């Protein structure tokens, strides 16, 4: 019984759509309004990175179950230029697009688990999870 929503990302309108779908799914899974907002904020940041750096990609959101607990997984994937120096991008205060440099470290703080696969020229896949308390 897993629920899954995939939102293709190609413009700033899709950023709004992805986070709204994500919030709705989080609430359906039983997350509090507060946690659903954290999740929606993380989705907003991840999908905006896709628009800003790769132009197109997708955000997949689904329920997960493991060892009796329930959670939500978000996979933001693109085939864009990738990140040459992943540890640097995860450091607070680093940004290559004139932003606040809070994107990835911020998303990491909002969620329980955070994984990133990326290399220059190989696209980026960020997987994050949040578990129901």
Partner 1 sequence: MEVPILKQGHFLIATIQAALSDDDLVQLRTALVHQVVRFRSFGVIVDVTAMDVLDSFASRTLVAISKMIRLRGADTVIVGIQPEVAFAMVQLGLTFEDIPTALDLEEGLAYLQQRFANAAD
In the complex, the smallest distance separating the C-beta of residue 34 from partner 1, rounded to whole angstroms, is 4
Cβ nearer to partner 1, comparing 2 with 34: 34
Cβ nearer to partner 1, comparing 92 with 121: 92
Give the CA angle between residues 69, 67, 23 to the nearest 5°. 30
The secondary structure of 33-61 as a DSSP string is: HHHHHHHHHHHHHHHHHIIIIIS-EEEEE
Site residues for partner 1 per CB under 8 A: 12-13, 15-16, 19-20, 23, 33-34, 36-38, 40-41, 44-45, 48, 92, 99-100, 102-103, 105-107, 109-110
Q: Cβ distance 9 to 59 under 8 Å? A: yes
In the complex, the smallest distance separating the C-beta of residue 32 from partner 1, rounded to whole angstroms, is 8
Q: Cβ distance 64 to 2 under 8 Å? A: yes
Cβ nearer to partner 1, comparing 100 with 120: 100
In the complex, the smallest distance separating the C-beta of residue 61 from partner 1, rounded to whole angstroms, is 15
């Amino acid at each position: 019984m897993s629920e899954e929503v995939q939102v293709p990302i190609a413009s700033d309108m899709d950023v709004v759509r992805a986070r709204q779908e994500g919030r709705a799914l989080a609430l359906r899974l039983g997350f509090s309004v507060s946690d659903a907002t954290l999740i929606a904020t993380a989705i907003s940041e991840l999908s905006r990175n896709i628009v800003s750096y790769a132009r197109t990609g997708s955000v997949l959101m689904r329920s997960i179950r493991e060892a009796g607990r329930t959670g939500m997984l978000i996979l933001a994937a693109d085939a864009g230029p990738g990140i040459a120096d992943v540890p640097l991008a995860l450091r607070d205060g680093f940004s290559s697009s004139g932003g606040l440099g809070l994107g990835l470290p911020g998303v990491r703080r909002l969620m329980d688990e955070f994984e990133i696969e990326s290399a220059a020229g190989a696209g980026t896949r960020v997987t994050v999870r949040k578990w129901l308390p």
